[in-house]
A and B are shown apart, each in its own frame.
Chain A
Amino acid sequence: MRVMAQMAMVMNLDKCIGCHTCSVTCKQAWTNRSGTEYVWFNNVETRPGLGYPRTYEDQEKWRGGWEVTRRGRLRLKGGNRFKKLATIFSNPKLPSINEYYEPWTYDYSTLTDAPAQEHTPVARPRSLISGENMKVEWSANWDDDLGGSTATAHRDPMLKKIADKVKFEFEQTFMFYLPRICEHCLNPSCAASCPSGAIYKRSEDGIVLVDQDRCRGWRMCVSGCPYKKVYFNHRTGKAEKCTFCFPRIEVGIPTVCSETCVGRLRYIGLMLYDADRVLEAASVAEDQDLYEAQRSVFLDPFDPAVVREAERAGIPRDWLDAAQRSPIHALINRYKVALPLHPEYRTMPMVWYIPPLSPVVDVVKDTGEDAEDTGNLFAAIDALRIPVEYLAELFTAGDVAPVDRTLKKLAAMRSYMRDVNMGREPNAAIPQGVGMSEEEMYDMYRLLALAKYDERYVIPPAHAEQAHSLEELATECSLDYDGGPGMGGSGPFGEGSGSPTPIAVENFQMLQNRQSADTLAGPAGKASRVNLLNWDGKGAPSGLFPPKSQGPGPVAPGSTPDTSDDGATGSGGTGGLTGGADLR
């Protein structure tokens, strides 16, 4: 037994309202830079739908993940090491930018610059890739809320599998949202596909990261990941992926997507697993056995033998406590309501989902029956095969039994808790019917419905010996960073060459660059701009005010000796402000 700890997430899909707050905040925090315009580390898909990038789930087309050979050996679906090296000069399975979408902005300046004319000027979409005018035809979420799904949804690879039973018609439709991040798999095929060995799994918390210094841009990880959650930054020529917000996790705060989730549907916690058994579990013959196989790899943090082995493996005591209190452990192994996304890819994903009961509830409600009655719901779960089979294609490789069990537990919880909340006599037969005790049912209700912050997120900080250097903002770096490599711009070796910048600082700077740029992409003169987020309010850094073309104005004695055009700055008082106002 080799005990390892894994930071994992569970999302309760019933609560997702499809607001995309997670996507937007994640984008603001991580991918708001040129080169990553099309990148969404977190995206929310409407299902049924094509997903992002389009039809990524069709592994016969994209060849991501692993497959098991007839002799029971696990191999990369995209081909072995030799094949990867032989195709290194032109990756045969790389989605083009159009499979994601061509990112764009609008030519907003025409709204104010346009001469007087008969018609209202229009801000036309401009491609952020080529800078040309473009026709917007697809995006990361084009089929949001089933928009246009009559035209596209039949191409949903998961719907195709049950297509002989379903004709996608709006009269019989169902819908739910699927937020996705990197799965931080136990058996990551992106890491296995990386020729440079730049993608690694952190041994402390299992977070899968790309070493930006080692990545050489071979793009095999993009093809290797069946979830298509590794992206190629087309400006820096490096792969980037969801980092599980490790700078936040290390200080014990949840990821940005979780923290900002309006529905509070995300849970973060530790799972202990036996690293020696991962390969064996990923190699089971039948796809439908993978859910149970993966569950069997997880270790019970209350088992004294596991605790002993964990301590031997160097897992700190507070991490063991966190593993025992982990909501993930509770949802996956105690209540067994969380299911993995596409276990058939055999990567052992570690972001699990509680399948939504709402498609079922909605149908019952529409019939006018009581949608919180176990009998009605159970009957509906049995009758509504299409949503249930669809969920099974997503979460259990098509095996409806675990999905049925989970949905029935959720339905039972609804009915049971309604009695409790209405002050009626709780019906102990309901939890029993789904194999739970009343107390367990209440605990599950507490975790799923009340979802207290400190119960949703049980995140032990990384070890305090290094606490200072783990502070999120990398405090050693301050204003002197302005104009440093993080300010972007294109050197002789291309965008982003030079030494890396601390993540947080870089992002604030990139964000600021983007927001203050007048041009579409790769704005010029970025280096002369000021990062107000890093400004401590003292003095007036050069570039704070626009250059003065004429008129005297106080020149700050304390301003940095800077020979840029913006060198003449105000002293931070009104003199500077009026000096600036002349030009605006």
Chain B
Amino acid sequence: MSEFFFVVFPYICVTVFVVGHVWRYRYDKFGWTTRSSQLYENRLLRIGSPMFHFGILFVFLGHVMGLGVPESWTSAVGLSEHWYHVLAISIGAVAGFSTIVGMVILIYRRRTVGPVFSATTRMDKFMYAVLASVIVLGLVNTAGQVVADYNYREGVSVWFRGIWRGALYPQLMEEAPLSFQVHGVLAMFLFALWPFTRLVHVFSAPLGYLTRPYIVYRSRDDAELGSHRPRRGWERIGS
């Protein structure tokens, strides 16, 4: 069982993540958007959205640190285990708190503001459920660090890096507390879900804006709308 969840499942999810994105980008560029609902409601969004997004950006960076950087490296630069944890937990708590408050505001808004709710697809609802669970569990793990002492950098992190190198350590995950296990598996599932949700907008972070010229000139190309048969895509059945 642990082999399935901690070895097979991650590989399935990573594959779906990569192939799914390539497929979505090729066949659904038109659907690739943030699907903003700011037009309907701005008061709650103005608070909730930046809180959530900036929060989650820091949460992401924290994960890059915690999962991506081996403990030996931070020790080598003279950062002791204790201080690492103090740093990780304090920054993680702030970022996680901001994320979760933002998320609560956004979900409340989505549920209570009529037009926003009616613009929510079933896929959105499912994705929010998974995303919220992952975030809540992550915060539980962070909070748990304060009381119990599980060094994830010798457990979960090693397992996670192993996935990329083909070195499999399911037993490390087995030894981890349950909340870490569920957090990891759900996060993997979220990655598999990713290409089929609005989360794809993460990959359109417009960093190119900083370097491109202000005015873009383009030649009328023959593949433009209205002049050509559309590219092959899927056809919807029903409504």
Contact = CB atoms under 8 A, between A and B. Distances in A.
Contacts of A211: 218
Given A89-B49, A493-B28, A524-B239, A466 B217 contact: no
Interface residues of A, number: 80
Interface string A470-496: 101010110000011101011111101
B31 A85 contact: no
Contacts of B31: 491, 493-494, 496-498
B33 A216 contact: yes
Interface stretch (A185-193, A449-457, A541-549): A185-193
Interface stretch (A115-123, A165-173, A201-209): A201-209
A502 B215 contact: no
Contact of A219 (B36, B122, B204): B36
A493 to B, nearest CB: 4
A82 B229 contact: no
Interface string B226-239: 11111111111111
A367 interface: no
Contacts of A525: 238-239
Contact of A489 (B34, B204, B206, B236): B236
B216 A132 contact: no
A329 B151 CA distance: 75
B228 A476 contact: yes
A490 B233 contact: no
A462 B220 CA distance: 9
Nearest to A524: B239
B227 A474 contact: yes
A498 B233 contact: yes
Nearest to A186: B215
A131 B40 CA distance: 13
B176 interface: no
Interface in B192-229: 196-198, 201, 204, 206-210, 212, 214-220, 222, 225-229
A191 B214 contact: yes
Interface in A5-64: none
Given A201-B216, A474-B227, A525-B239, A216 B201 contact: yes
A146 interface: no
A217 B33 contact: yes
A463 to B, nearest CB: 9
A469 interface: yes
Contact of B33 (A187, A194, A238, A477): A238
A216 B230 contact: no
Contacts of B201: 216-217
Given A96-B39, A200-B217, A492-B123, A213 B30 contact: yes
B63 interface: no
B42 A94 contact: yes
Contacts of A218: 34, 36, 206
Of A188, A476, A485, which is in contact with the most chain B CB atoms at under 10 Å from its CB?
A485
Contact of B230 (A194, A469, A496, A501): A501
Interface residues of B, number: 65
B109 to A, nearest CB: 12
A216 B34 contact: yes
A232 interface: yes
Given A130-B114, A219-B38, A494-B31, A469 B239 contact: no
A469 B34 contact: no
Contacts of B29: 213-214, 499
Given A130-B115, A490-B239, A502-B225, A197 B208 contact: yes
A97 B38 CA distance: 9
Contacts of A215: 33
Interface of A is mostly: loop
B163 interface: no
A88 B196 CA distance: 23
A485 B215 contact: no
B230 A234 contact: no
B116 to A, nearest CB: 9
Contacts of A82: 210
A178 interface: no
B46 interface: yes
A112 interface: no
A90 B212 contact: no
B230 A500 contact: yes
A195 interface: yes
A132 B229 contact: no
B230 A485 contact: yes
Contact of A197 (B123, B209, B237): B209
Interface string B99-130: 00000000000000011001101111000000
B27 A499 contact: yes
A499 B118 CA distance: 23
Contact of A203 (B54, B119, B206, B218): B218
Given A131-B118, A213-B30, A493-B28, A499 B218 contact: no
A201 B33 CA distance: 22
Contact of B219 (A85, A92, A196, A203): A203
Nearest to B35: A237
Given A214-B29, A215-B33, A84 B228 contact: no
Contact of B38 (A94, A204, A472): A94
A81 B210 CA distance: 6
Contacts of B30: 212-213, 236, 238, 496-500
Given A91-B38, A219-B38, A484 B123 contact: no
B210 to A, nearest CB: 5
A500 B28 CA distance: 9
A503 B226 contact: yes
Given A213-B29, A494-B121, A502 B230 contact: yes
B24 to A, nearest CB: 8
Contacts of A129: 40, 115
Given A191-B216, A499-B233, A84 B33 contact: no
Contact of B229 (A91, A197, A502): A502
A143 B229 CA distance: 43
B225 A477 contact: no
Contact of A527 (B206, B216, B239): B239
A217 B36 contact: yes
A196 B206 contact: yes
Given A196-B209, A216-B33, A485-B234, 18 more contacts: A89-B50, A89-B53, A89-B54, A131-B118, A192-B215, A197-B209, A199-B216, A202-B219, A204-B220, A216-B201, A217-B35, A484-B235, A485-B233, A494-B31, A497-B28, A499-B27, A499-B233, A525-B239
20 contacts: A90-B45, A91-B38, A199-B216, A200-B218, A202-B220, A203-B219, A232-B39, A237-B35, A250-B220, A474-B228, A477-B229, A489-B236, A493-B197, A498-B30, A498-B233, A500-B225, A502-B227, A503-B225, A527-B236, A527-B239
**Top 5 A-B residue pairs of the complex, sorted by shortest distance between their CB atoms:** A497-B31, A195-B206, A499-B233, A192-B214, A237-B35
Interface of A: 81-82, 84-85, 88-92, 94, 96-97, 129-132, 187-188, 191-192, 194-197, 199-205, 211-219, 232, 234-238, 246-247, 250, 462, 466, 469-470, 472, 474, 476-477, 483-485, 487, 489-494, 496-504, 524-527
